[in-house]
C-alpha cells in the first residue's frame, strides 16, 4: 500500500487523537473517499462548492494510513445490557443513565451488522459498504477517511493530505449522531446522554435526513451528489393554517389550550423520549398538516360530504412529493377542526384558533351547527375537536362497528379505519390512521404525510411500511411497562385508569390524553 510521508502521518495522528474525544473512526473498511457534486467539484453543506478540490492521491493515501494503523481506531460499540457511561458507547446509541447499561434505541433503527443504504438507517449512524457499522459515526470536524464514516455523510479534504467530517449545518446545531452536552447543541433539541438523537417519529428542521420521508416537513434538502442533507421548510409547509406545525414537530409541553401551534392542536409526549411533539390527528389530515395527495385531507373531493370547493393537498410545484392540506369551502367539512365540542361525558369544551362553522348535515336547519356548535363537533381519541359526519351524535350508545366515519370522533373515541368505526382497538399488523387506533403499547408506523399506517410496523427508507419491522430494531416508542409486566398505553390509546398510561398522562374519557 502507498503510505503518507512521516510528517503528514504525524499530522494525521494528531487529528486522530482529537477524534478519540468522541468515538474515533467509523470503520476499517476501505470505501470511497470524498464525494463530489456530480460535476467534479466538491459540494458543501449548502449546495455550493468547497475551496478544496478533490485529490484522489492524498485521499487514497490517507485511507491507506488508516488501514496500516497510522490512526488508532475506535472500539466496537457495546451491545444491549452491557455497561456504559454515555450513549456514544452503545450500538443502540442509547445508554440508560440510571442503570448505566446500553438499552433499546430511542427510535426505530437498524442494528449493527444489518443491511443499510445510508447512515441514517442505522442506530450507529454509520453505513459502511451496505452494512451498519459496529462503530458510531465520526463527529463533525473530526478526522476521517471516507464519507460513510461521518455523521454528516461527507469526509472533506482538510488540506493536509487527510480528511475531516463536514458539518451539515456549518456552525449551527449538530445533527443526530454527533456528541452533545445539552439539547441546545442539537438540531433535534434532544441530547440523549451525550448523543444528539432524533426526538420524534420524523426528523426536525435542520436535522439530518436522507429522503423527504425522513422529515416532519416532508422536505430533505441535499447538496448535489450528497447522500445526506437536512430537513427544511417549503413555501407550502411554512404557509399552512397560519404557519402551524405539522405532526411530529417539537412543541411546548402539553401545548396548552392551543396545542403548541400544532396543526392538530394536540401536543403530547412521544414514546420513550417523553418529549412533547405535535400529534397526528386521527383519520383525515386537518388544514395545514402534511399530505401526499388530496385524499389525505379532510373534505377532499372524494370524502363523504364533498363541497363545491373541496380541500386539496397544496404543493409548491407539480413535482413536489409533499404539500399541506389547504382550505376548502366556507363551512368546515367532517373531520375539520372545530371550536366548541361535546365530550363523551356530555361536558362542552372549547379550543382556541378554530372556527365553529361545521357544515350542516342534510335534514337540519342552516343554523343548527352555528347556533349550537357542540351538536356538530366532538373530540376524537386524542381530544382534538372535529366536525362530525353525523350531527347530534349520541355517545351514550356508541355507533356499532361498520358505521361510516371520517375520524374517531364519529365513533365516540373508538378507531375509525378505512371509513368505518371499529368496536375495538387494532391489533399488531392491522391498518391504522394514528397510534390511538392501535391496542395499548403498540404504535402506528405511518410515514410523514400519509393517512394510513400499520400497528406495530416500521417505516422503511423508501416511505413504505413493513408489518413486522423487517431488520430494524427498537420498540418504536412504547414508552414503558406496567407493574404487572404489561405494556403501558401510548397517548390517545384506550385506558381504564391513569395507571395504564405511559409518561404520567391522565386517563381522560377512556383515552390516555390531557383534558
Q: Residue 108 falls within a domain, yes or no?
A: yes
Distance between CA atoms of residues 95 and 79, nearest Å: 10
Positive or negative, the CA dihedral 95, 100, 101, 103 is negative
pLDDT at 348: 74
Beta pairing partners, 157 = 163
187 domain residue, yes or no:
yes
Cα 218 versus chain centre, distance: 10
Instruction: Tell me what pLDDT residue 471 has.
Output: 36
Taking the CA atoms of residue 440, residue 446, residue 452 and residue 455 in that order, the dihedral angle to the nearest 10 degrees is: -30
Could you list the pLDDT tens digit for every one of the 515 residues in the chain? 222 332 333 333 333 333 333 333 444 433 333 333 333 333 333 333 333 333 333 334 344 334 333 344 678 999 999 999 999 999 999 999 999 999 988 887 888 999 999 999 999 999 999 999 999 999 999 999 999 999 999 999 988 888 999 999 987 899 999 999 999 999 999 999 999 999 888 999 999 999 998 999 888 999 999 999 999 987 555 444 457 888 999 988 766 656 778 888 888 888 777 888 998 889 999 888 888 888 898 888 777 765 656 778 888 777 788 888 886 667 788 898 887 777 766 677 776 667 777 887 655 556 777 777 778 888 888 888 888 888 878 888 889 999 999 999 999 989 999 999 998 999 999 999 999 999 998 989 888 888 889 998 887 766 677 776 543 333 333 334 443 445 789 989 999 999 999 888 999 888 898 88
CA distance 54 to 65: 18
- Is residue 280 a part of any domain in this protein? no
Q: Can you count the helices (H) and strands (E) in the chain?
A: 4, 32
Distance CA 83, CA 95 (A): 8
Distance of alpha carbon 512 from alpha carbon 494, whole angstroms:
6
What pLDDT does 34 receive? 36
Q: Report angle CA 337, 338, 343 to the nearest 5 degrees.
A: 105
How many whole angstroms separate alpha carbon 455 and alpha carbon 436? 10
Neighbours of 509 (CB within 10 A): 18
CA torsion sign for 365, 396, 306, 239 is positive
In degrees, rounded to 5, the angle at the alpha carbon of residue 107 between the alpha carbons of residues 106 and 108 is 130
pLDDT of residue 474: 37
390 touches 381 (CB < 8 A): no
Establish if 492 belongs to a structural domain: no
Assigned domain for 407 exists: no
DSSP 226-253: -S-EEE---HHHHHGGGTPBPTT-B--T
- Picking from 501, 510, 509, the residue whose alpha carbon sits closest to that of residue 269 is 501
Question: Helix H segments across 99-234?
Answer: none
Asked if 228 and 152 count as a contact pair (C-beta separation under 8 A), the reply is: yes
Rounded to whole angstroms, the Cα distance separating 255 from 277 reads 9
Q: Is residue 416 part of a domain?
A: no
462 within some domain:
no
Nearest to 232 by CA among 169, 294, 313, 326: 169
The three three-digit cell numbers of residue 174, written as one number: 449538530
Q: Which phi and psi angles does 208 have, rounded to 5°?
A: -70, 145
DSSP annotation of 58 reads H
Residue 130 lies in a domain: yes
* Helix/strand/coil for 295: helix
CA 299 to CA 115: how far, in whole Å?
A: 41
Give the whole-angstrom CA distance, residue 97 versus residue 105: 14
Domain of 90 in residue numbering reads as: 1-199
The number of domains in the chain is 1
Burial 288-318 (b: 16+ CB within 10 A, else e): bbbbbebebbbbbeebebebeebbbbbbeee
SS3 258: helix
- In this prediction, residue 486 carries a pLDDT of 52
Q: Which backbone phi and psi does 358 adopt, to 5 degrees?
A: -65, 145
Contact between 448 and 322 under an 8 Å Cβ cutoff? The reply is yes
* C-alpha grid cell, residue 387: 366536525
Q: How many CA atoms lie within 13 A of 78 on its CB side?
A: 19
Using DSSP's 3-state secondary structure scheme, residue 338 falls into: coil
Q: Of the candidates 209, 201, 173, which has an alpha carbon nearest to the alpha carbon of residue 188?
A: 173
Amino acid at each position: 500500500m502507498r503510505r503518507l510521508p512521516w510528517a503528514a502521518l504525524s499530522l494525521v495522528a494528531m487529528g486522530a487523537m482529537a477524534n478519540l474525544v468522541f468515538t474515533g473512526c467509523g470503520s476499517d473498511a476501505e470505501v470511497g473517499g470524498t464525494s463530489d457534486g456530480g460535476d467534479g467539484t466538491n459540494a458543501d453543506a449548502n449546495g455550493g462548492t468547497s475551496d478544496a478540490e478533490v485529490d484522489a492521491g492524498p485521499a487514497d493515501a490517507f485511507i491507506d494510513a488508516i488501514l496500516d494503523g497510522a490512526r488508532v481506531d475506535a472500539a466496537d460499540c457495546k451491545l444491549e445490557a452491557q455497561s456504559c457511561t454515555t450513549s456514544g458507547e452503545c450500538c443502540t446509541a442509547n445508554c440508560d443513565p440510571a442503570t448505566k447499561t446500553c438499552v433499546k434505541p430511542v427510535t426505530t433503527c437498524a442494528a449493527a451488522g444489518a443491511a443499510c443504504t445510508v447512515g441514517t438507517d442505522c442506530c450507529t449512524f454509520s453505513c459502511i459498504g451496505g452494512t451498519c457499522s459496529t462503530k458510531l459515526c465520526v463527529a463533525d470536524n473530526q478526522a476521517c477517511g471516507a464519507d460513510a464514516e461521518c455523521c454528516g455523510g461527507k469526509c472533506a479534504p482538510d488540506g493536509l493530505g487527510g480528511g475531516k467530517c463536514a458539518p451539515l449545518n456549518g456552525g449551527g446545531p449538530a445533527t443526530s449522531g454527533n456528541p452533545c452536552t445539552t439539547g441546545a447543541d442539537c438540531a433535534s433539541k434532544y441530547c440523549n446522554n451525550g448523543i444528539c438523537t432524533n426526538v420524534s417519529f420524523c426528523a426536525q428542521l435542520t436535522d439530518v435526513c436522507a429522503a423527504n420521508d425522513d422529515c416532519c416537513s416532508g422536505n430533505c434538502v441535499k447538496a448535489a451528489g450528497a447522500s445526506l442533507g437536512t430537513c427544511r421548510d417549503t413555501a407550502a409547509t411554512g404557509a399552512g393554517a397560519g404557519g402551524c406545525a405539522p405532526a411530529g414537530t417539537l412543541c411546548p409541553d402539553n401545548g396548552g389550550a392551543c396545542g403548541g401551534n400544532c396543526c392538530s392542536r394536540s401536543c403530547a409526549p412521544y414514546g420513550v423520549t417523553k418529549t412533547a411533539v405535535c400529534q397526528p390527528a386521527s383519520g383525515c389530515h386537518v388544514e395545514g398538516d402534511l399530505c401526499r395527495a388530496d385524499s389525505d385531507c379532510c373534505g377532499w373531493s372524494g370524502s363523504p360530504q364533498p363541497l363545491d370547493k373541496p380541500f386539496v393537498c397544496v404543493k409548491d410545484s407539480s413535482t413536489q412529493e409533499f404539500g399541506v392540506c389547504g382550505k376548502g369551502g366556507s363551512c368546515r367539512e367532517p373531520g375539520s377542526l372545530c371550536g366548541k365540542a361535546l365530550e363523551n361525558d356530555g361536558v362542552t369544551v372549547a379550543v382556541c384558533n378554530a372556527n365553529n362553522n361545521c357544515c350542516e348535515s342534510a335534514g337540519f336547519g342552516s343554523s343548527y351547527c352555528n347556533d349550537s356548535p357542540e351538536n356538530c363537533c366532538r373530540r376524537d381519541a386524542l381530544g382534538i375537536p372535529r366536525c362530525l359526519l353525523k350531527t347530534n351524535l349520541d355517545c351514550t350508545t356508541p355507533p356499532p362497528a361498520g358505521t361510516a366515519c371520517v375520524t374517531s370522533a364519529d365513533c365516540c373515541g373508538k378507531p375509525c379505519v378505512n371509513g368505518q368505526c371499529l368496536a375495538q382497538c387494532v391489533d399488531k399488523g392491522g391498518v391504522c390512521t394514528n397510534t390511538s387506533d392501535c391496542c395499548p403499547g403498540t404504535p402506528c408506523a405511518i410515514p410523514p404525510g400519509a393517512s394510513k399506517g400499520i400497528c406495530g410496523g416500521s417505516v422503511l427508507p423508501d416511505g413504505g411500511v413493513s408489518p413486522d419491522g423487517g431488520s430494524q430494531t427498537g420498540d418504536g416508542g412504547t414508552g414503558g411497562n406496567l407493574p404487572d409486566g404489561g405494556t403501558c398505553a401510548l397517548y390517545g390509546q384506550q385506558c381504564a385508569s391513569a395507571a395504564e398510561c405511559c409518561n404520567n398522562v391522565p386517563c381522560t374519557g377512556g383515552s390516555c390524553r390531557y383534558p
